[in-house]
Amino acid sequence: MTIKKLTYFLFVAILLASCSATQQQLVAEPAVKGIDGTELSEDQANEFEYLFIEGLKQKKLGNIQSAVSIFSRCLEIDPNSSVAMYEMASIHYANKDLTSASLLLEKAISINSENKWYQLMLAEIYRQRQQYQEAAAIYTRLSKNEPDNLEYLYYNATLLGMAEQYKEAIDAYDLLEQKTGMNEQISVARQQIYLAWDKPDEAFDEINRLIESDPEETQYYGLLAELYQQVGDEKNAVKNFNKILEMDPENGFVHFSLANYYIEQGDKKKAFEHIKKAFANEELDAETKIQYYMLQTSDAESSEWTHDEMNELLDILQETHPDDNRMYTIYAEHLMRQNKIDEARSYLKQYLETDKDNFIIWQQLLFMDNDLMDFEGLYSNSKQAIELFPNQAVLYALHAVAALQLEKYDEVLATLEEGEVYVLDNKSLEVQFELYKAEAYYKLNQVEKAFKAFDEVIKLNPDNHMAMNNYAYYLSIRGEQLEKAERLSGRVVQANPDNPTYLDTYAWVLFKRENYQLAKFYIESAINNGGDENSVLLEHYGDILYKLGEKDKALENWRKAKAVGEGTEVLEQKIRELRFIESLVH
């Protein structure tokens, strides 16, 4: 772990601690002066206290605007209230307005310089704004008040290093070491400062001091090897890595270090041999190997290894950790990258046999069911997932999809009604719920409810082309609101000029409006864009041709429609009688 990473987490920890402790002190501080510099009257003091407590309450409830308004009123009553300034600052800080937060805290500290919580928050803001010197100065002051507080000393030293005040940082670490004794973390921090200060000899001295303090600690030789790498001494770097292997042959981490070394040397063959040894090492935890594997596979272009090499590492990982159920998800992801969805799905099922409580895996499985159009699988798996995670709205949506495909329309509506309470403010899911309702209502011949639901979908999402297309098609079948149907379908086709399904809908709407010539243009566009094997499109083409008087071509396309699919219930009658017959089933 680097110094900066460690510093960040420690700062967050102390900031969180400070926030809880502060609340205990704030109300106790009296409001002192009014706007004109006079002391507050009893009524003003009472009003201030009431408002301040109410502000804290609103802040805790998440009513931030109300809290801001109340604290602003507090400052009108007492412009010198550091506690009100602090609370306003904390709100600005949470909203990432660091400038406003710092100005308020600076003023609060000028009024009440003894409150360490104000200073801690300001120090964190300075750190985030990369004002390291100012942040370090705060910890210098805090350390004078609490000389035995080692955290303050450590933060001060770290921030001085970040501010590139190297001598002062070293002095601060020396002081810290006097209080704690020799410490690996301090030595490593000093080593990094000496390197930044361009004093490599002193950096080596720090690591050698660690080695002298505990010659059997292999980690210190790793630090030394990495230091040699940093200064470009590859020979001594590899010498110390190999020394670790001599001392601890089962040390898996060193193989990763040696692999990096050989990659830098351009010897990828030798580097890969070390990676394989690291993966085969049973003493090295699976987490480290999995993280390395995921890092290498997250971006194929930046990976050090070929596809076949990554397969080899995956096999070694499986052999070394056969009982780690995460292997199922890794294999699944590996197969997904090769678009082998069905095989990937089988691994996720195996994972869920060992751990049914992983929502993310259930969701991935259901999406795979949907992609594979395995609606029976989607139906049963989503039902099981809902039992495990009843408050996840997306599961109800997926179950509704399966029920729609399986023509369980009453169940679609029941499922959506049950899951609706969990949608909350997820607008995308709200749209999906309404769309599935619309489809189910239409299939149940509850046309008025269906069209109302379609209107709601379009209101929520005016660019939902699927809803607009289906709505237009259903209107055209029923011969209702054909102008609206043409308007909706026209917008869809304009946005998706190569989609055969949408082109077919527009052609059929135009057909119903008796604009046969234009309908022919769009149905031919649909067929030329991949619809030539779709029985519905071919039957529609025949219907349009018939209306244009091209009966032979109409018959030809009706026959094609029958050859590639079932068509409507009147298709055979059309062919037999060579005439157009209206159908309400499409």
3-state secondary structure 122-150: HHHHHHHCCCHHHHHHHHHHHHHHCCCCH
Please write the tens of the pLDDT for every residue from 556-582: 999 999 999 878 899 999 999 999 998
Distance CA 290, CA 279 (A): 9
3-state SS, residue 33: strand
Q: What is the pLDDT of residue 433?
A: 97
Pick the closest to residue 255 from 236, 235, 270 (CA basis): 270
Q: What is the pLDDT of residue 17?
A: 32
**Reduced DSSP (H G I as helix, E B as strand, rest coil) percent helix, strand, coil of the chain, to 5:** 75, 0, 25
Pick the closest to residue 477 from 511, 454, 515 (CA basis): 511
* Residue 445, burial from CB neighbour count under 10 angstroms (0-12, 13-18, 19+): exposed
Class of domain 463-577: mainly alpha
Looking at the domain that runs over 1-129, which CATH code has it been given? Answer: 1.25.40.10
Asked if 81 and 31 touch (Cβ cutoff 8 Å), the reply is yes
Q: What is the pLDDT of residue 581?
A: 93
Q: What is the pLDDT of residue 38?
A: 57
Q: What is the pLDDT of residue 181?
A: 83
Q: What is the pLDDT of residue 415?
A: 97
Q: What is the mean pLDDT of the chain?
A: 87
Strand ranges in 151-293 using DSSP code E only, listed in sequence order: none
φ and ψ at 408, to 5 degrees? -100, 70
Distance CA 156, CA 142 (A): 9
Angle between helices 150-162 and 116-128 (to 10 degrees): 30
Please, what sign has the CA dihedral across residues 168, 173, 177, 179? positive
User: Measured at the alpha carbon of residue 284, what is the angle toward residues 280 and 287, in degrees to the nearest 5?
Assistant: 100
DSSP 257-320: HHHHHHHHTT-HHHHHHHHHHHHH-TTS-HHHHHHHHHHHHS-TTT-SS-HHHHHHHHHHHHHH
Q: Quickly count: other Cβ atoms within 10 Å of residue 226's Cβ.
A: 17
Give the position of tokens 């030329």.
528
Please write the tens of the pLDDT for every residue from 417-464: 999 999 988 999 999 999 999 999 999 999 999 999 999 999 999 999
Under-50 pLDDT residues of the chain: 1-32, 34-37
Q: How far is CA 261 from CA 241, 280, 468, in A?
A: 10, 19, 59
Q: What is the pLDDT of residue 225?
A: 84
Distance CA 507, CA 520 (A): 7
Asked if 156 and 139 touch (Cβ cutoff 8 Å), the reply is yes
State the amino acid at position 202 in one-letter form: E
Q: Quickly count: other Cβ atoms within 10 Å of residue 255's Cβ.
A: 23
3-state SS, residue 39: strand
Residue ranges, comma separated, of all CATH 1.25.40.10 domains in the chain are 1-129, 463-577
